[in-house]
Amino acid sequence: MRAFLVLCAAVVLAACAVAAWGWNDYRQSVSAEVAAPSAVAFTIERGWSARRVSRELESAGLIDKPHWFEFEARRSGKAAGIRSGEYTIQPGTTVAGLLDVFEQGRTRDYAHTIIEGNNFREMLTRAAGVEQLKHTIGEQGSFDERGAALMEAIGHADLHPEGQFFADTYRFPTDTTDVEFFSRAKRMLDRVLEEEWAGRAAGLPLETPYQALVLASIVEKETAVAAERPLIAGVFMSRLNKGMRLQTDPTVIYGIGESFDGDIRRRDLTTDTPYNTYTRAGLPPTPISMVGREAIHAVMHPQSTTKLYFVSRGDGTHQFSETLEEHNAAVRKYQLGR
């Protein structure tokens, strides 16, 4: 009997020792840092279980005891919350910390820029080359058809797509669709336009935020020099107030469309299109490019000026004039002279 009791005691002690060793091994494993000497990309596919994730982490050489990762995921209740996506695992991350990253969905971000002054066709073409975006708007059909499909997908089927996406850099995670990306850019434009319209200067010859957006797109195309934008906006305001035509080349070029070869000719200025501001008074029917906040702000707060004309100096800046005689002299100096 005594021998039996001794044996039982020995078994219990051994079990306790094994349990203690196991518990200590578990604690050390979940608090240990993953084997990542530098940032490592790791992708979790949709539908992967905690067990599958643990095995993939082991295969990638990031952990050596996948059973403890799975155990911790289930013990902590985070197994069901692991989100799919592409992650960047940083050096120093513990196994427990890795679970937090996966549960919170802190996926790897990518960036794409909508460029100020790009038109819809250019914007859509650039976005089509972004591999990290999921492309749901097909590449078949004309740009008009694709634009209509995109505007319908983001809930604005009544709007022309030109100028409707705020020029900025946007960060996005894996699995973001092109529709989600452009919806965000549209919301940003609406927010900025609303803010700037609410704080606009008094007495502008503009009736709606949309008209301000149209004019901002022209200012955006006329100059890349930020300091000139308020003055160029002021010139256009003066012309509108006086009932003068805007006579701005970028609108003519936009009206020519894809057939524009880089040179604007006299016949282009006299050929009527809805966008030819030499043949038609007022603003064109839609914006002609995507815009950033600076161009919108310049239109909402134009510089007060008596200037009515400007011409490119050929270095990115412009010469401004009050009279047609001064303007013609500047054209001879900076354009015909070259």
144-188 pLDDT per residue, tens = 899 999 999 999 999 999 999 999 999 998 778 999 999 999 999
**Residue whose tokens read 């940003």:** 188
- Helical ranges in 61-174 per DSSP H: 66-75, 95-104, 120-128, 143-153
What residue type is assigned to position 33 of the chain? Answer: E
Instruction: Give dist(CA 74, CA 63) in Å, integer.
Output: 17
The first and second tokens of residue 50, run together, are 């905690």
What pTM did the predictor assign?
A: 0.77
Long-range pairs for 34-37: beta carbons < 8 A, 24 or more residues apart: 34/62, 34/63, 34/89, 34/93, 34/94, 34/95, 34/98, 35/61, 35/62, 35/63, 35/64, 36/62, 36/89, 36/90, 36/91, 36/93, 37/91
pLDDT tens per residue across span 195-212: 999 999 999 999 999 999
Q: What is the pLDDT of residue 212?
A: 98
Closest-CA residue to 334 (of 323, 316, 248, 178): 316
Q: What is the pLDDT of residue 314?
A: 85
As a whole number of angstroms, the distance between CA 244 and CA 246 comes to: 6
Average pLDDT across the chain, whole number = 89
Q: Residue 215 in contact with residue 283, Cβ under 8 Å?
A: yes
Q: Hey, what are 171's tokens?
A: 């960060």
- For the ranges 33-47, 65-79, 228-242, the maximum mean pLDDT occurs at 228-242
Using 50, 70 and 90 to split pLDDT, how confident is the model at 261?
Answer: confident
Would the pLDDT of 29 be above 90?
no
- The structural domains of the chain, ordered by start, are 30-104 (3.30.1490.480), 109-192 (no CATH), 201-336 (no CATH)
Query: Helical H runs in the chain?
Result: 2-31, 50-59, 66-75, 95-104, 120-128, 143-153, 178-198, 209-222, 229-241, 249-256, 266-270, 293-300, 324-331
Single-letter code of the amino acid located at 3: A
On whether the CB atoms of residues 269 and 251 are closer than 8 A, the answer is no
253 closest CA partner among 288, 296, 297, 217: 288
Q: pLDDT class for 85, splitting at 50, 70, 90?
A: confident
Compute the distance between CA of residue 48 and CA of residue 80 in angstroms, rounded to an integer.
10
Find the mean pLDDT for residues 88-116.
89
Q: Quick one: angle between helices 120-128 and 143-153, nearest 10? A: 80
Kindly report, residue by residue over 272-283, the tens digit of the pLDDT. Answer: 999 999 999 999
Q: Taking the C-alpha atoms of 195, 183, 121 and 115 in order, what is their torsion angle to the nearest 10 degrees? A: 50
Residue range 322-330: mean pLDDT, rounded = 92
> What kind and span of H or E run contains 171?
strand 169-173
Residue-level pLDDT at 48? 93
Q: 217 burial class (0-12, 13-18, 19+ CB within 10 angstroms)?
A: buried
pLDDT-derived band at 3 (thresholds 50, 70, 90) equals: low
pLDDT of residue 335: 78
* Cα 215 from Cα 230, distance rounded (Å): 12
